[in-house]
Structure 1
Amino acid sequence: MTDQTAILIVEDERIVAENLREVLIQLGFRVTGIVSTSQDAVNAAGTQHPDLVLMDIKLKGEVDGIEAARQITERFQIPVIYLTAHTDVMTLEKAKTTGPFGYLVKPFHERELKSSIEVALYKHGMEMRLKESEMRYRGLFETMNQGVCTLDAQLLIQSVNPAAETILEAPAHQLIGMNILDTSWETVNEDEKPCSRKDHPAESAMKGKSEGNRIVGIRSRKGNKKWLLINAAVISRHPSDPETVLLTFSDITRNRQLELSMRKQNEQLAAMNRMTGILSSTLNSSELVKKALKEVVKMSDCEAGSLVLLNHAHQVESLYFEGLGAADRDSLDAWHREPEGRYRELLRKRNISIVEMSEAYFSYAMVIPFQLDRKKGALNLFSQDKCFSDDTIHLYSSIGQRIQLTLNNARLYEETRSALRQLKETQDRLIRSEKLAGLGALAGNVVHELGNSLGAISNSIQVLRNRLDLEGPLNELMDIIATESRRLNQCVEQLREFARPRQIRKQPGDFCQMVRHAAAVIQQDTDLIRSRSIDLDLPEHMEAVSFDRDAMEQVMLNLIRNALQAVPENETIRIRVRENTGGKRKCICEVRDQGTGIPPKHIENLFEPYFTTKSRGMGLGLHIVKQIVEGHGGRIQIKSRENRGTTVILTFPKERD
């Protein structure tokens, strides 16, 4: 070794010490001093800073060389080689506890001395470099921003750095000894699905498959959800070393939240685009509300929703639900209509409100009010959790405004369409009135001429029957003439009714009794009835109805006759009378048959004058029926399916005059 290597000699025998100093100098070492006691050895090591100490184990005094070596090693990290003439086991075992760098048994040769010193200095240098490396690693371990955990072969946590304590929200003494696979971590994969044991990064690393940049979610020791970017690898593979898994991880919770927020915003933007398409796809208010509500619930984190429209009196006019069963609908229906008026008060505020609730299984509701002309409405979203952020509130506020605008447009469209329909109906009535006026004048002339002629024919038939004794074919011909005369007379009466519509004179009366009488009259017509029958479904008690008995009986005779003519023999027609007490009280009469039915193309023309599908008749019957019913302030409807039958429905108010 060079003269730069300084050695301190600790020897209580002066001659031995001097000889040793001369040998060391000859070998090229520098001797910093010779001391003979333990205390002097410690003091000299502290002041002279030798590179190595040659220490005699047996020194004079109370403290031997072993204790001096211990203090020198611990305080100054200077390597020590023991010099001893004793080789007893007890002394050597005691000396081992100080971690010496060598032993020289007296007497020894120069070569042994030199090699022992060189080995000790090399070993000490290696240990110092290792300690420096460990210190650098420890510094890096303690100060790095990434969390670091080491795991043993059972995946128990052996060590953690401060960053890991911060991320996992627990001190080291709580974390060390925990199994990284413990279910309390609630580990999930990036797709939010539970992470199985075999799929865990630490388990994969232990099986030889290192994991890099793996995203997992865990539950911290404080119960907070954390998202981590994990790298896992085994750092010891020597057969004599225990296997250790190194986990490094970064807290990416904030980035994950931003990513999810951006994804949510993109989804909401796409939903807004879909909503725009829905709101522009139709101007039918009911269809529009149902589609829009379904899309809003779908795009939100809420379980269900509703859309309510209030009338001018702030009462529920229309109520739509999405995502609810029947029981929950009943419960929430009551919430919208509750008598205390708390819900209606929310709508008066015109601002979005988030309220606690106990209805159904929901805890919270977001109420988004909007205005429709002078009416109010609201979009409501229901949730078990309070999942309404400022972003979602702003989004649903925009949706509420769009729904408001679209519903207003739909209302204007429907009002315009209704006005145009009424205008067309008025124009059609004017045109029809002009046509009917002309037809009425013509019919009046025809009635006058035919009436006189038919009167003469009827009188002549009667005279002939009285004066002639007609038998056989002549009598049959006379019957035919009489029958056809009566038929023509009925046509004349219809023309007269058409030409001069009767004045409706309503009086309170028994509507059901009038129906029975009309049915009885028809049953006297054996040619029409034959084997057909009439079934009456009439209430036992019904309040008097104000109507024109003669006119209404003419209506019933016409409808019953038409129904019987539509069915084959042995069939039954049904007449049903009922009263509707909800809202405006109405009397409803239905004449139903299961005959041939009416082709759809003819339905619209049935009430037109002179329109008929029969081989005989003038086509004025239903026109006159409609005039009489509307003269009572009522309405007539015909529902028919080919080969399934026809139902004629008369509806008119029950108010008395």
Structure 2
Amino acid sequence: MTPARILIVEDELIIARDLQQQLTRIAHTVIGLSVSGEEAIAIAAAERPDIVLMDLRLEGRMDGVDAARHLREAFQIPVIFLTAYADPETVRRASQAEPQGYLLKPFEDLQLFTTIELALRKHSAERRLQESERRWEATLSSIGDGVIATDGEQRITFMNPVAEALTGWEFRLAAGLPLGQVVRLRQAGELTEPTAAEDAGDVVLVSRPGREIHVREKRSPILDGHGRITGAVLILADMTRRREAEAAFRQAQAEMEHAARLTSMGELVASIAHEINQPLMSISANAAALGRWLSHGPSGQAEVRAASERILRDSGRAADIVRNILGMARKAAPSSRAVDVNGLVRDMLRILEGKLRQHGVALHAGLQDGLPSIQGNAVQLQQVVLNLAVNAIEAMAGMPEPALHITSCLAEDGIVIRVEDNGPGVDSAQAEKIFDAFYTTKPAGMGLGLLICRTIIHAHAGSLTLAPNRPSGCIFQIHLPSCVAGKIPPSGVARQRHHPMHRAPRRREHQPRRQASPGE
């Protein structure tokens, strides 16, 4: 039994007192007695009883039916009607107020007890159901997709705010209308009642104002306790933002690919500019010398011829560099032939003459005689040695008694070329990054030279390493596999020597040593 707080509404006071005694005997509490509907509403608003026992015939303008309807709608308080009348019209009118019970006078304590107990339990169940429906409705109203529910005849019974926005229909206007009248899909089949959950895919929804919206449609049946279909749920997911996001992603991807192509093109252009700078400098120097010798008239013809030959040689070398770099960019196999290492080093030293004099660097060349040939691309290999030598010269700018050592010798499994300087050197942190793309220790450097050098040497199945020199400076060592295995007798080793043309020039005290310009 559930004890309850009960309001009695009865215009006959004797009956009301007798009813109060009956309720007290079965452990209920009477919170008040009323003789009119208006008074009953006022007491209910103040006391909020658990249940009201209401006579159908009351004094005043409001009878029991009207009062019961008001109590249910305003306060959700259940009502049990008490009456001596059971004619069809009275019962019909009383049922409109949706009472929780109907007692005919006179009644026994057991009848009263049973009716009140059932009414309280029924009201509690209805309240839980209403709370569940409110939670369900709140959940469906808060999700981001449009949700529409229909009954067994495909008439709309629910729409959440998103569905209202998509279709252009307010639920209060769409309730009870056929689904096809509210949800109009272009180029889609009839909206049939689904027998199982299904994904209809992307469709175009035409809203009430005529706006076309791309949506993704899903349908699921509503089943009763016996598995019978009693309706359906339609879910409409707005694909507009997703399509916009996909379009933006495709555009961003295209822009990234374009940027990557531009970056690759920029790297290629930068590498070409870096590699071709040396022969262009040599051409410029020889052209200047050519002009000076031409001013000497016939006596300078031999020098003019030599300078013009050097210009032709360096211009051809620049063209070879461009061809080789473009070949690497296209991943084409470079031309390969037997290469005399000492010969390409000697040619490189002639190119360096002007730069050595300009920076006051003493050259020490020690090239082992009789070295076997190596298989490779002479232009690329010479460019590697030249880049290493130029880097060393520029690194020693401002150092006292700068000296460059270039040596070659035979190793067990190939040939080794070493380029040494007595500059400031690099610390361990720099040494780890020195071969990385775009990493440079020079203010005007591009950070591509050493990367290109290592790439070329690796393409020749060799290695390029960096080690510290003592007491200062760097040692770059190139190891290349030779074509012919063999040993060179000790007498074939050329001794270390100073070439007269590479000796550091004597400087006047008032002439400061000039630093290399960024373009050199």
TMscore range, shorter length: 0.3 to 0.5
Q: TM-score, normalised by structure 1?
A: 0.35
Report which structure shows greater RCO (CA 8 Å, sep ≥6). 2
Structure with max Cα Rg: 1
